[in-house]
Structure 1
């Protein structure tokens, strides 16, 4: 798997992000959808990566800088053709390594609380993410699960 910085202009990544937004909307009421669109992901505080083996997009994810010590994972998505191949796990590991390189003390995320998001919550928990309260500009929401990870914690191999 090759993880590379992505400028969000390729048709494959645009299509995968459309699928991501549709998938989130399928499981969440509109007021609880916190996924970013293309313009939101192109903001300077966000670094976006895509995963490719041999010219085929496998997945994507982003790291948003909330402040000098705190980052947020955004837009984690694995292509349907590549589910259960370790794509998301490799990308989370990459994002956590980048967060440590930047000197962040923690990385947080928001995901859905509904059953459709249970696999994502289990994956994040495997990497040491624990449930927390709302952070940054989020508010308490019964449709959201907030999780955080101390950077110095051990990551699975």
Structure 2
């Protein structure tokens, strides 16, 4: 198996754009529009957001297998965003690797905690399981989020 590489993502890369289009399509197919909080390309380009992709090698020939973003909410609080493994690459531990990468970055930045929002639908059960195994606990809405029966909020003290 080729070595996995996690690096800053190029929002103009067609491989990354396809992954993001798939991500947004799944979010809109799974949750009501008012409950979709996934970032589009414009949201990921915000200077408070750092966005990475994981690929099966380096260069233009490598397949982009997943992505993740970290949004700075404050100097001590980050939000996990846009975590996605390509459907064909699921079950290979990519989510765990991406989550470890973001948490390492959050610690390096000096964040005291990382929070996230995800869906309550069965589609999101693997993500919720991953976050809970990593030590995240359910919390009230944070930032600009409000209570929503289609959302669950998690936080992890670092």
What's the TM-score, normalizing by structure 1? 0.95
Q: 1:26 aligns with which of 26, 29, 48?
A: 29
Contact kept in structure 1, 2:24 and 2:40, CA below 8 Å: yes
Instruction: Give CA-to-partner distance per residue, 1:60-119, whole Å, 9 cap, x none.
Output: 000000000000000000011110101110000000000000000000000001111111
Q: How many residues matched?
A: 151
Task: Give the Cα separation in 2 of the matches to 1:88 and 1:2.
Answer: 13
Q: 2-side partners of 1:32 and 1:64: how far apart?
A: 19
Q: Which residue of 2 aligns with 1:47?
A: 50
RMSD: 0.6
Q: Does 1:3 align with 2:6?
A: yes
Q: 1:7 deviation in Å?
A: 2.5
Matches within 5 A, 1:113-128: 113-128=120-135
Question: In the alignment, which residue of structure 2 is the partner of 1:60?
Answer: 67
- Structure 2 unaligned segments of length 5 or more: list them: none
Write out the 4+ residue segments of structure 1 that deviate beyond 4 Å after TM superposition.
none
Asked if 1:93 corresponds to 2:84, the answer is no
**Unaligned 5+ runs, structure 1:** 152-157
| C-alpha distance in structure 1 between counterparts of 2:47 and 2:38, whole Å | 17
d(CA) in 2 for partners of 1:8 and 1:73? 18
